């Protein structure tokens, strides 16, 4: 692993009483923050490197200002896990700025190692609930948004926790510029039907496929994720849906 980059990217962390702090958000966050206890070296990596790569929410009105380059496009991945897809897309698209939202610290630690190994400066992390960030970013600021294999919340009483809902789709419709793309992938049959129903009801995004023939082949520009690979190895059908912002 390379040494940590210069601290010129270091961010001032928001105080907990700031209205911009995620904990001040009124919507309850249900995702996991921690899995297995982190090893001391991993904890040290988080403390040392996460402030370097954390997206500066105070610059949300001009998100490109938090990057080293004045890129033409900003991409957003929601729930990027260990960052396999995010980091690979950042390496493949050096002229694009990317933000990955992930609140699970074990996944963030893997992502940080990948970012450092690849020496990527066009990627930032939002290590909190993504919804406050969505409300801060400017209208039509996102060219591509990814929601890849989100938590299915399979119990009926937990379905309301699913990210794909009317309120979040309105958020994404505000952010994704006309002609931009929203990509959603899932390996969960019930969630697939849930997504289909809500995207059919939505009037801001149109499918780039036929509802009668859902795409089950990985797109050419796709970067495999751990969850996808695990599902496919078990013979579980994966669905890859691209939508264009109208």
Q: How far is CA 10 from CA 16, 52, 56, 134, in A?
A: 18, 4, 9, 22
Residue 159 phi/psi, 5-degree rounding, is -55, -30
Q: Label residue 100 exposed, middle or buried (CB < 10 Å: 0-12, 13-18, 19+).
A: buried
Q: Is 243 helix (H, G, I), strand (E, B) or coil?
A: strand
Q: Is 190 a catalytic residue?
A: no
Phi-psi region of 117 (alpha: psi -120 to 50; beta: other; left: phi over 0): alpha
The β-bridge relationship of strands 205-207 and 239-245 is antiparallel
Active-site annotation holder among 20, 135, 151, 242: 151
Residues 161 and 63: their CA atoms lie apart, in Å, by 28
- Inter-residue contact 177 to 141 (CB < 8 Å): yes
Task: Give CA–CA dist 137/159, Å, rounded.
Answer: 27
Among 210, 217, 207, smallest CA distance to 242 is for: 207
State the alpha helices, DSSP H only, in 165-225: 166-175, 189-201
Active site residues: 151
């Amino acid at each position: 692993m390379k040494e940590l980059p210069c601290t010129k990217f270091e961010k001032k962390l928001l105080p907990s009483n700031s209205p911009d702090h995620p904990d001040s958000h009124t919507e309850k966050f249900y995702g996991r923050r921690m899995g297995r206890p982190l090893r001391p070296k991993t904890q040290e990596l988080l403390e040392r490197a996460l402030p370097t790569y954390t997206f500066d929410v105070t610059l949300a009105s001009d998100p490109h200002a938090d990057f080293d380059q004045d890129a033409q496009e900003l991409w957003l991945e929601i729930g990027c896990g260990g960052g396999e897809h995010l980091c690979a897309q950042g390496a493949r698209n050096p002229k694009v700025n990317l933000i990955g939202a992930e609140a699970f610290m074990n996944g963030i630690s893997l992502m940080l190692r990948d970012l450092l190994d690849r020496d990527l400066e066009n990627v930032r992390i939002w290590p909190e609930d993504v919804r406050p960030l969505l409300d801060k970013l400017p209208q039509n600021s996102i060219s591509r948004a990814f929601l890849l294999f989100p938590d299915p919340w399979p119990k009926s009483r937990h379905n309301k926790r699913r990210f794909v809902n009317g309120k979040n789709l309105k958020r994404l419709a505000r952010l994704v510029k006309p002609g931009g793309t929203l990509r959603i992938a899932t390996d969960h049959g019930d969630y697939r039907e849930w997504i289909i129903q809500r995207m059919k009801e939505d009037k801001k995004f149109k499918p780039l496929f036929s509802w009668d023939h859902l795409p089950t082949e990985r797109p050419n520009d796709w970067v495999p994720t751990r969850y996808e690979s695990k599902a496919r190895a078990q013979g579980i059908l994966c669905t890859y849906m691209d939508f264009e912002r109208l």
